[in-house]
Structure 1
């Protein structure tokens, strides 16, 4: 077996033979002691009487014993006191004995002292033992992945522990160049992605100081060092604070190390140091890597877990609402919103802005209006984009009063409604027959510096037509044609043709159709039907038949409304042959 001791200024490593196949642990056949670090050592003499050894570990056939050693006299009489080993640092299959005694033979030790043989750096096979490495403030232990896995599976991972609870791996046999470590139970089946982070021998055991180091490493984007320090604290039974874990988690997410972020989150969850910030980061990570459904499943699980600890906050709900909004999943968005209120979380300005925007995009205007109204009732000030979306929702649902109220509030607070909101309000007022208010909003639109577009003109013309002000429709159309000819489209022409039909202005209707054809725009069947209808109102059946022939010549297929209008015109003029032909 291998005996390893460590103390103030001394380090001892030696293979020891126990007689009777290891059944008798009270005697050791050989023992070698050597100076280490700042110990006083001369060529022919070792000052063993002035030293104190802190730790001894004995390993043989899967059994490991840990104890303290105190040298009370130069004759190397040893006294051992049992030391408790943390279960989390012992691999499966390793057995730690509670107490044992190991008494060296005084004659053997005295002989070694007299001879002054420097054998502290040689193992029984004559191979050189390397000194325990030191990296800056910490002892650094490098794991060999393949051998480490073999040791974990065979239960041979064995650790030493010094009097301060710090750990270092025990060397096996003569294979002393391969130092090995055991992973923490929480990470046994989940290896760290960043080059398999190492375990450090922590001389500093203050949790606040170590947490500060993790925080600074994370802010400096030194990911590997931060993970190593976190893992080392876990091995040593130390726990970083919440701020350090959140900073490390944010650093991992920022560098798209998602698997490592999930492992750090599980560590936080196991130690009950999770926060709303950690939940939000991990849910966004899962949504980005595994999709919205996976994030929803995790959210349901975490929501149930957090009810006991009350560590959820409204930001977590905002995160999931945003995730669902990107997928236009308004059903889950509404469910999360209702769940948030049931759990007594009050929405913020961001919450309601997201809800209004998502519901409007998904066509759920009634839910958007409900969310906006609840926002105002809770005393929250809506943002400008939220007001614009709410006006659009009111326009589609015909909620005239709320739309006007929102528009007026924007003007009162010095906000500038955009062109889309103005057009939506003009369209809403036009549908409601409020033509004067519609043109008042049109003037405000121009005073705000917006240029009317085709949607603006279409809303005004449609409002005038619904108000049966057909003459004003044609006047406004002529104005548009003079000032904004480039904005003319088929919808504007059709509105003007509808007014011509109502007024019986068949010649004006013909001119509009010829203009459309000359401009290169396509003339639909509905446009020709309106011209034929204007001829019917004006009692011009022959003109209507000519329009019909022109329509067929341009390969524009007539429909039932075309034939009905023609038949009515021909019956009035007693053109029975034409009626028979049309039939």
Structure 2
């Protein structure tokens, strides 16, 4: 009720009633809650310059909250620093919590941790929500061990963890490939009397699937189905991905069908997992059928969807179909990633279409997609497949078109040959002028071609 609030404020002043500190703070709080932060800022300035009332910690906290609310983080930090410089007051736990929340929402997790340590140094009481944010930020930043240390500090100070904190830690350890530590925390969570929710169980099932422990994952999945824990798409997606990567495609497909029968709507991650499983198993027709079904069901094809289907088509030597699908993707305005180009270029190189691979690479530069290792990847894949003549032809094409420094292409070729187990050719290249030297034919000077590496 901002209009009424301002009316009362004006009437009070007209009646000669001088506002107290509490009145000023109430007015600022009302303005901040209504997102009138500029007006709240003017009230704060009036407190500093008019009358005997000076802003206190509540005044600063209110304005800092307002700045954070409208995304003016820098101004909030400046007010915080100004507050620290005053001798008559200091930031309290509310000040720190407000800034930690603000930094967390902007994924500035280092700042959250720094504020937490500052609170520790000052001996301030740390609210449970501040612990949750700091631990959550560390987990999102891929630092679960640091998050676990904060949890231990929290418990040592007599503040219990909660389901959300344990779930974040379990998920982060799982994503870092530390399945053992994740499951230790899961057991500890239950032993401490916390009841895991569907998010926690979903994280545990995903963790076990990533670790290849599919039977154990199914045990927890069945436990949830038989109890009151809601089973959602995340459970099925994790299991479909796990079974698919293990080559157990029929079981993955069965889970997908079961999910649809239960009325759950598959998301793009779920579709992609099964399409990838079909593609890796060489069942390209089923992969393409699912790709088309995905579009009919209104589920958007992601760049990853196109990448795995293009890769699967090239694996089955359906090169023209793969190229057509790439062009369709570009026409739809989907920007390729480095991984997408790598899959496409690998297929083109193995099918002998080097010129097209280089042409597509040139076309990607204007849209901001510049795979740094593109040429290296293409030469590596040819050498790995034993197609040394093709690799030399590609290297010559790269140098002739001025796409790479000849010396770098030479280094790439040497490393690729060595990795492919052909040390003799790698040594021959090292002791030759290929790529960087020239041969003279009368008055004509020509660069020594990589293809001469295979001459007797």
Compute the TM-score of the two structures, normalised by the length of structure 1: 0.46
SS of the residue 2:203 aligns to: helix
Q: Output the CA distance in 2 between the equivalents of 1:582 and 1:359.
A: 42
Correspondence list, 1:272-351, <5 A? 276-277=21-22, 279-284=24-29, 287=32, 291-303=36-48, 311-327=54-70, 329-344=72-87, 345-351=89-95
Structure 1 stretches of 4+ moved >6 Å: 253-256, 575-583
C-alpha change, 1:491 and 1:265, in structure 2 (3 Å) is farther
- Please state how far the C-alpha of 1:385 moved relative to its aligned partner: 2.2
C-alpha change, 1:321 and 1:462, in structure 2 (3 Å) is same
- The residue that corresponds to 2:243 in the other structure is 500
C-alpha change, 1:332 and 1:495, in structure 2 (3 Å) is same
Contact kept in structure 1, 2:170 and 2:186, CA below 8 Å = yes
C-alpha change, 1:256 and 1:469, in structure 2 (3 Å) is same
- The residue that corresponds to 2:277 in the other structure is 534
- Greater relative CO (CA pairs within 8 A, separation 6+): 1
Correspondence list, 1:148-297, <5 A? 257-262=8-13, 267=18, 276-277=21-22, 279-284=24-29, 287=32, 291-297=36-42
- Please state how far the C-alpha of 1:311 moved relative to its aligned partner: 4.2
- The residue that corresponds to 1:519 in the other structure is 262
SS of the residue 2:316 aligns to: helix
Q: Output the CA distance in 2 between the equivalents of 1:265 and 1:294.
A: 22
Contact kept in structure 1, 2:35 and 2:66, CA below 8 Å = no
Match for residue 567 of structure 1 among 313, 321, 329: 313
- Please state how far the C-alpha of 1:364 moved relative to its aligned partner: 4.0
SS of the residue 1:405 aligns to: helix
Gaps of at least 5 residues in structure 1 are 1-252, 269-273
C-alpha change, 1:420 and 1:263, in structure 2 (3 Å) is farther
Q: Is 1:417 equivalent to 2:145 in the alignment?
A: no
C-alpha change, 1:392 and 1:526, in structure 2 (3 Å) is closer
C-alpha change, 1:304 and 1:370, in structure 2 (3 Å) is farther
Contact kept in structure 1, 2:240 and 2:253, CA below 8 Å = no
SS of the residue 2:29 aligns to: helix
C-alpha change, 1:493 and 1:296, in structure 2 (3 Å) is same
- The residue that corresponds to 1:479 in the other structure is 219
TM-superposition CA deviations, 1:271-321 (whole Å, max 9, x none) = xxx6x5454344335546892211112213433568xx7944323212322
TM-superposition CA deviations, 1:315-340 (whole Å, max 9, x none) = 32123223444555434322211221
Contact kept in structure 2, 1:429 and 1:435, CA below 8 Å = yes
- Please state how far the C-alpha of 1:478 moved relative to its aligned partner: 0.9
Q: Is 1:404 equivalent to 2:137 in the alignment?
A: no
SS of the residue 1:484 aligns to: helix
SS of the residue 1:337 aligns to: helix
- The residue that corresponds to 1:370 in the other structure is 114
C-alpha change, 1:406 and 1:580, in structure 2 (3 Å) is closer
- Which structure has more helix as a fraction of its residues? 2
- Please state how far the C-alpha of 1:380 moved relative to its aligned partner: 1.0
- Please state how far the C-alpha of 1:462 moved relative to its aligned partner: 4.2
C-alpha change, 1:261 and 1:450, in structure 2 (3 Å) is farther
Q: Output the CA distance in 2 between the equivalents of 1:406 and 1:373.
A: 10
Gaps of at least 5 residues in structure 2 are 327-456
- Please state how far the C-alpha of 1:545 moved relative to its aligned partner: 1.7
- Please state how far the C-alpha of 1:523 moved relative to its aligned partner: 3.4
Which structure is larger by alpha-carbon Rg, 1 or 2?
1
Q: Output the CA distance in 2 between the equivalents of 1:480 and 1:414.
A: 32
C-alpha change, 1:255 and 1:429, in structure 2 (3 Å) is same
Contact kept in structure 1, 2:278 and 2:286, CA below 8 Å = no
Q: Report which stretch shifted further, 489-498 or 373-382.
A: 489-498
Q: Output the CA distance in 2 between the equivalents of 1:366 and 1:373.
A: 11
Q: Output the CA distance in 2 between the equivalents of 1:579 and 1:278.
A: 70
Contact kept in structure 1, 2:206 and 2:217, CA below 8 Å = no
Q: Output the CA distance in 1 between the equivalents of 2:39 and 2:49.
A: 16
- Please state how far the C-alpha of 1:375 moved relative to its aligned partner: 1.0
Q: How many residues align?
A: 313
C-alpha change, 1:458 and 1:262, in structure 2 (3 Å) is farther
Report the RMSD for the aligned CA atoms in angstroms. 3.9
- Please state how far the C-alpha of 1:401 moved relative to its aligned partner: 4.2
- Please state how far the C-alpha of 1:379 moved relative to its aligned partner: 1.2
Q: Report which stretch shifted further, 365-374 or 278-287.
A: 278-287
Contact kept in structure 2, 1:532 and 1:565, CA below 8 Å = no
Q: Output the CA distance in 1 between the equivalents of 2:275 and 2:26.
A: 65
C-alpha change, 1:391 and 1:516, in structure 2 (3 Å) is same
Q: Is 1:469 equivalent to 2:216 in the alignment?
A: no
Q: Output the CA distance in 2 between the equivalents of 1:505 and 1:408.
A: 40
